Amino acid sequence: MNHPAEPPRPERPDATTVVVLRDRRGAGPPALSPRAHGRPDRVDLPGTPPRRAPAPAGTSETARALAERTADLQRVKAEYDNYRKRVRRDRLAVREAAVANVLTGLLPVLDAVDAARACGEDAEGFDSIARLLGSCLAALGLESFGEPGDPFDPRVHEAVTSAPDPHRTTPSCARVLRPGYRVGGRLLRPAQVAVAEPASGD
């Protein structure tokens, strides 16, 4: 006859097992390592400037490359600015040269008008033509110079004759035989003048 199986009995602690119970009522909460919660080992105090994270690898190379590219762009910009200024100067020089060539070709016409007007031939008609032509050429920058009494300047005056004058202390233009012309800073032709020079003391 079979007997029913007995239920397993709970294991009893071995006689050699020692259970130690400690009183933790007076102890505080267990100290936790800062690393256990992902916090850094160092805790910054209030008012302490935050620490900078270490620069990732390759930052210095990137900064150097950026500086080189910036320098290249600045150099290209400076070269382009110089190019624009040079082109502007060249355009102005070409325009001034073209205007000077045209005006130089018209100077004999002005001389003929002045000569005819000086002879008294149809003075009223020549005066109107001379004024109209002069205003048109002045709009292009043509300027006449040379007046009696002007100090003689060999850079802009051509001395055709000279005579001593006891009333002069420096050489000056006594008469203007042919006016001079210039456009801007360019001399088209000097003025032909008769020069009055100071009388010698002999």
Residue 179 pLDDT: 93
Domain boundaries, the chain: 62-140, 143-202
Q: Which residue has the tokens 């690393």?
A: 35
Six-digit token pair at 10?
């709970």
Q: Are strands 180-183 and 191-198 parallel, antiparallel or unpaired?
A: unpaired
| pLDDT exceeds 70 at position 160 | yes
Task: Give 66's contacts (C-beta < 8 A, 6+ positions apart).
Answer: none
pLDDT digits (tens, 9 = 90+) for 99-133: 889 899 989 988 888 887 777 766 666 778 778 88
Integer Cα distance of 45 and 34 in angstroms: 15
Whether pTM exceeds 0.95: no
Residue 42 pLDDT: 56
Tell me, what DSSP letter sits at residue 201? -
Q: How far is CA 23 from CA 5, 17, 110, in A?
A: 43, 20, 127
Specify the fold of 143-202.
Answer: Nucleotide Exchange Factor Grpe; Chain A, domain 2 (2.30.22)
pLDDT digits (tens, 9 = 90+) for 18-33: 455 555 555 555 555 5
